[in-house]
């Protein structure tokens, strides 16, 4: 039992015990007023002693069990929002946070990040290596997003397959462009190590910005369309949902990913 769990249970036992003592003494007082009740001092003593002995014995285990059940419930709810493979937040967690963020009036940028030729990785090196690639890319995205300056909420999640989503609050368009380009470049120059191999992996990124009436789903779809356009144009680059040209893409590479 943890210290917090023990102290919380002791506090609960004390409150319940005092309530039982007070209730018992009030009951004795009522009986003295309305009945021919004798040996008042003895009964007051018993009304105090018995709750002090019996209540902690009965309630302490129940309170400990209740506390543990709450912890288990919180842990299970956390697991429902976690991707088991990458240990990143999952699609459910992403959209829950996005809904909360979109209620504010701040600027919000969503990005869709898709690993290029991921099927080729699985077919060439096997699914174990593919899983290692997913974990490595996920960690890279989380780190880069967390290091973004001048932003409010900064959040990355795996939302399915080889797809990751990013939510950034309060970025200017120029800062969002810099972040998208940074994601593409950083992942390109950081091969994934696995099974004695160095596997070159690249990503395509789509960027979309929230407008006043947009929902998270609408903006993410726009980012997904921009990501698809980046793939059509050669992969290993990013594109904006507004159709803005972003300059030359990252240097094309022949990759196994």
Whether residues 109 and 195 share a domain: the answer is yes
Whether residues 129 and 196 share a domain: the answer is yes
CB 235 within 8 A of CB 254: no
Whether residues 169 and 106 share a domain: the answer is yes
Q: Is the pLDDT of residue 248 over 60?
A: no
- Looking at the 3D structure of the chain, how many domains does it have? 2
**DSSP state, 247?**
S
Whether residues 25 and 139 share a domain: the answer is no
Judge whether 10 lies within some domain. yes
The reported pTM is 0.69
Judge whether 35 lies within some domain. yes
Condensed to tens digits (0 to 9), the pLDDT of residues 32-88 reads 666 666 666 766 676 677 666 656 666 666 666 666 666 666 666 655 789 989 999
Token look-up 């992996």 returns 201
- The Cα–Cα gap between 43 and 38 comes to 9
Condensed to tens digits (0 to 9), the pLDDT of residues 90-138 reads 999 999 999 999 999 899 999 999 999 999 999 998 999 999 999 999 9
Report residue 101 as tokens.
Answer: 């963020």
Condensed to tens digits (0 to 9), the pLDDT of residues 160-182 reads 999 999 999 999 989 999 999 99
Judge whether 232 lies within some domain. yes
Give the closest residue to 204 by CA, choosing from 226, 227, 221, 177: 227
Compute the chain's Rg from CA coordinates: 30
Torsion over CA of 149, 154, 159 and 162, rounded to 10 degrees?
A: 20
Whether residues 135 and 182 share a domain: the answer is yes
Judge whether 247 lies within some domain. no
Judge whether 84 lies within some domain. no
CATH number for position 160: 3.30.70.270
Domain limits for position 39? 3-79
Whether residues 203 and 129 share a domain: the answer is yes
Whether residues 19 and 114 share a domain: the answer is no
Judge whether 58 lies within some domain. yes
Beta strands per DSSP E along 103-153 = 108-115
Which residues are catalytically annotated?
A: 162
Whether residues 141 and 230 share a domain: the answer is yes
- The Cα–Cα gap between 132 and 21 comes to 61
- The Cα–Cα gap between 19 and 12 comes to 11
- The Cα–Cα gap between 88 and 156 comes to 8
Whether residues 185 and 148 share a domain: the answer is yes
Judge whether 251 lies within some domain. no
Whether residues 118 and 208 share a domain: the answer is yes
Whether residues 61 and 99 share a domain: the answer is no
Whether residues 46 and 122 share a domain: the answer is no
């Amino acid at each position: 039992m943890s210290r917090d769990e023990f102290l919380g249970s002791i506090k609960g036992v004390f409150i319940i015990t005092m309530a039982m003592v007070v209730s018992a003494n009030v009951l004795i007082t009522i009986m003295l007023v309305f009945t021919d009740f004798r040996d008042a001092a003895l009964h007051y003593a018993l009304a105090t002693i018995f709750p002090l002995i019996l209540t902690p014995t009965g309630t302490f285990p129940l309170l400990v069990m209740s506390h543990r059940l709450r912890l288990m419930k919180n842990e299970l709810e956390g697991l429902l929002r976690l991707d088991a493979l990458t240990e990143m937040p999952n699609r459910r967690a992403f959209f829950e946070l996005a809904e909360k963020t979109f209620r504010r009036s701040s600027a919000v940028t969503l990005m869709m990040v898709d690993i290029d030729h991921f099927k080729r990785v699985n077919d060439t090196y096997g699914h174990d290596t593919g899983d290692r690639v997913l974990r490595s890319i996920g960690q890279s995205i989380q780190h880069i997003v967390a290091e973004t300056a001048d932003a409010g909420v900064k959040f990355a999640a795996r939302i399915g397959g080889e797809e990751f989503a990013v939510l950034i609050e309060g970025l200017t368009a120029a800062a969002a462009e810099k972040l998208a380009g940074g994601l593409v470049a950083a992942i390109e120059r950081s091969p994934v190590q696995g099974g004695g191999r160095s596997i070159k992996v690249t990503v395509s990124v789509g960027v979309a910005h929230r407008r006043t009436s947009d929902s998270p789903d609408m903006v993410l779809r726009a980012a997904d369309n921009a990501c698809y356009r980046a793939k059509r144009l050669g992969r290993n680059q990013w594109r904006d949902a507004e159709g803005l040209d972003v300059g030359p893409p990252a240097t094309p590479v022949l990759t196994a990913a």
